[in-house]
Amino acid sequence: MQTFAINTLGCKVNQYEAQQIIKFLTSCNLLYVQDFKIADLIIIHTCCVTHIASAKSRQLVRKAQKQNPNAKIFVSSCLVNSDPAEFKNLDEKLLFAGNLEGLFNLLKQQLTDAGVDCKSFDNNTLKESETIEKFHGQTRAFLKIQDGCDGFCSYCIVPQTRPNITFKPFDKVIDEAQHLVKAGHKEIVLTGIFLGAYGQKTVKRKNWPEEKNEMLTNLLEKIAQVPDLKRIRLSSLEPADVTDILLDVMKNNHNIMPHLHLSLQSGSEKILKKMNRQYTVKDFLKSIENINLKLDRPAITTDIIVGFPGETIQDFAQSLSVAKLAGFSKIHIFPFSKRSGTAAAKLQDHIDRQVIAERTLKLRELEKQLAGNFRKQFVGETAEVLIEDEVKKTGKCERYYEITIKSDKKTPKGEIVKCKINEDGITATI
């Protein structure tokens, strides 16, 4: 029996695609293994969203080559599309595929040449592979409902690596959610590159037939009815996606978690414009106000880029001040790094690395403080934790922060445990 290993970097969409690859290869009777050394085929599903992600992707390819020189190594996804030169000097024997379809065709060819029966791997299988039944290795399952972006935020390479905008039909999403629940997943995260564009052919709102897109809200309401689905989250939205109707659906369905991820990126109107984002700081803060009015102490998480070209000390101060006003429960901080192929890379006024490092540190300090303030509100209250690590007894609560259960009782992975939050805000007792 042939074996395969897969290593994935990057966003939830990439993680989801890795599950589709696992599904395809296991349907061809290959055995999924964790260890590169015993794999006949190795797939590195790459990411290029930052320089670090690109470097890690290349490192993984080198690691695979070193640990198993006899394996066939496939390099797939975003980094392959962004800049093939990233792989020069690595090895001529590597096999490259920029998207899932290309990878499937390459795999099929290799397997057929090796005498593996791949008959089931025809076009139907490819279609079939668009959905998954189980999310291996994770308690929380991602369900991809949208792919692609043509938004061209000036720092982002994604519109070049994933230019085709697609979405999964309603019925297929519901069917997939039912399968994931049957497989034991208690939580599903609806995932896409631009989730709010679900059902649209473009992510540019000005080109939508109607200003608002209610497709995502309708879908969310339907998914909330899937029997035994305990938790639903949305991966990332923009302020205009957070309509009153969406918030009503969240409020009225106890299995939709009181958590939203809204990427701020910068608190300066000037920088947001330079980034080519589709909202203003004013829109952002209005949206936060609405969310707080409708939901009970919701967790609002975000991404902020530090040191975008032209970011003055005042612009950065505005990011700090918006973060304080929004009271984020978590901030993913991205020190700006030049991504070749993007509009931002061509800008003149790049910020000194040292300055970026200092600002990053400042934002990290604020992040810590805000996260602590947020968690303090729930001390002494009951929370439900979805256990991800049964040895450490850790998992995420409804509002998406990690809690460690202090108890001798068993806390099986994948189960939801009711507990009382301790004084420190990050541990709890059963």
Q: For binding to ligand SF4 (CB under 6 A), which residues are involved?
A: 149, 151-153, 156, 158-159, 193-194, 203
DSSP 44-92: EEE--SSHHHHHHHHHHHHHHHHH-TTSEEEEEEHHHHH-GGGGTTT-T
CB of 312 vs ligand SF4, minimal distance in Å: 22
- Residue 127: its H or E element: helix 123-128
Our CB check for ligand SF4 shows the closer of 149 and 173 to be 149
* 3-state class (DSSP) for residue 184: coil
CB of 362 vs ligand SF4, minimal distance in Å: 23
Our CB check for ligand SF4 shows the closer of 151 and 258 to be 151
CB of 203 vs ligand SF4, minimal distance in Å: 6
Our CB check for ligand SF4 shows the closer of 277 and 375 to be 277
Dihedral sign, CA of 112, 115, 116, 121? positive
Burial code (b: 16+ CB inside 10 Å, e: under 16) for 336-359 equals bbebeebebeeeeebbeeeebeeb
Our CB check for ligand SF4 shows the closer of 151 and 335 to be 151
Our CB check for ligand SF4 shows the closer of 16 and 121 to be 16
Question: At 212, which amino acid appears?
Answer: K
Chain centroid to Cα 119, Å, comes to 33
CB of 270 vs ligand SF4, minimal distance in Å: 18
CB of 265 vs ligand SF4, minimal distance in Å: 8
CB of 151 vs ligand SF4, minimal distance in Å: 4
CB of 158 vs ligand SF4, minimal distance in Å: 4
Our CB check for ligand SF4 shows the closer of 319 and 411 to be 319
Residue 385: both structure tokens together: 């934790």
Chain centroid to Cα 337, Å, comes to 20
Rounded CA gap, 152 and 299, in Å?
28
Q: Among all chains, which residue has been given the structure tokens 């994933």?
A: 162
Our CB check for ligand SF4 shows the closer of 194 and 284 to be 194
Residue 288: both structure tokens together: 């936060």
